[in-house]
Structure 1
Amino acid sequence: MDPVLVQVTTTFDDEAAALEMADGAVQARLAACAQIEGPITAIYRWQGQVHREREWRLVLKTRPQLTEALVLHIRALHTYDLPEIVVTPIIGGSPEYLAWAAGEAETTA
């Protein structure tokens, strides 16, 4: 089954940066909406050391056709050397919500 929408997730070390990315993606209609969760605790290995950091998770909803453009948008503006960018298919849900989100995420170019 093809996804109706996808959820694109990334993280930031600063809430303001997450807000800026969310605003830009929604303004550009690359995403229908965004949710920011945090702070969360991230524990990861980077350059041979284990780190424990506070982060804010940004979750963006978009149409599958816009995934590549949204990922490029995130990569171009993200402050991390290697940002987490994970795409998860949404295969169902509230038909009214899914229709609204699909209509909001569409480039006019």
Structure 2
Amino acid sequence: MPTCHQIILCTCPDKDTAEKIAHLLVTGQLAACVNILPGILSVYSWQGQVESAQEHLLLVKSRKDHYQSLEKTIRDNHPYEIPEIIAVPVEAGLPEYLNWIDSCLSSS
């Protein structure tokens, strides 16, 4: 059963940036929870070159109706010229957990 919930992926260059964005999203009631996975190695193409960097990955639990505000908050507080912000729909989930996400988000 499809839901309106999303997991948003966002890589950050360091722990401080990751924690700052996570706290802004949760305290702003744009996300119910943000997991920070440290120590990932990203290999990517940038300006015609293959680059690699150690990063922190944010897994943001939210809903579609909060995406625009969530994206703006990340963009306004992220040091990358083009930050990774990718929303993946949640196809199914434990109903109690999805209800908990809803209870943590602003009603706007």
TM-score w.r.t. length of structure 2: 0.93
Percent identity over the alignment is 34
1:62 aligns with 2:59: no
Q: Which amino acid aligns with 1:40?
A: I
Once the two structures are TM-superposed, the CA of residue 43 in structure 1 deviates from its matched residue by 0.3
Structure 1's unaligned 5+ residue stretches are none
Structure 2's unaligned 5+ residue stretches are none
SS at match of 1:18: helix
Q: Which runs of 4+ in 1 moved over 4 A?
A: none
Give, in whole Å, the separation in 1 of the partners of 2:87 and 2:63.
Answer: 11
Aligned to 2:101: 101
Aligned to 1:33: 33
Question: Within 5 A, what are the aligned runs for 1:1-109?
Answer: 2-107=2-107
Give, in whole Å, the separation in 1 of the partners of 2:40 and 2:74.
Answer: 20
Once the two structures are TM-superposed, the CA of residue 47 in structure 1 deviates from its matched residue by 1.2
- Whether the 8 Å contact between 1:40 and 1:57 is mirrored in structure 2 is yes
- What do you get for the CA RMSD once the two structures are aligned? 1.3
Give, in whole Å, the separation in 1 of the partners of 2:24 and 2:105.
Answer: 13
How many equivalent pairs are there? 108
User: Over residues 16-60 of structure 1, what are the superposed CA-to-partner deviations in whole Å (9 max), with x where a residue is unaligned?
Assistant: 110110001000001011000121000011112111110100011
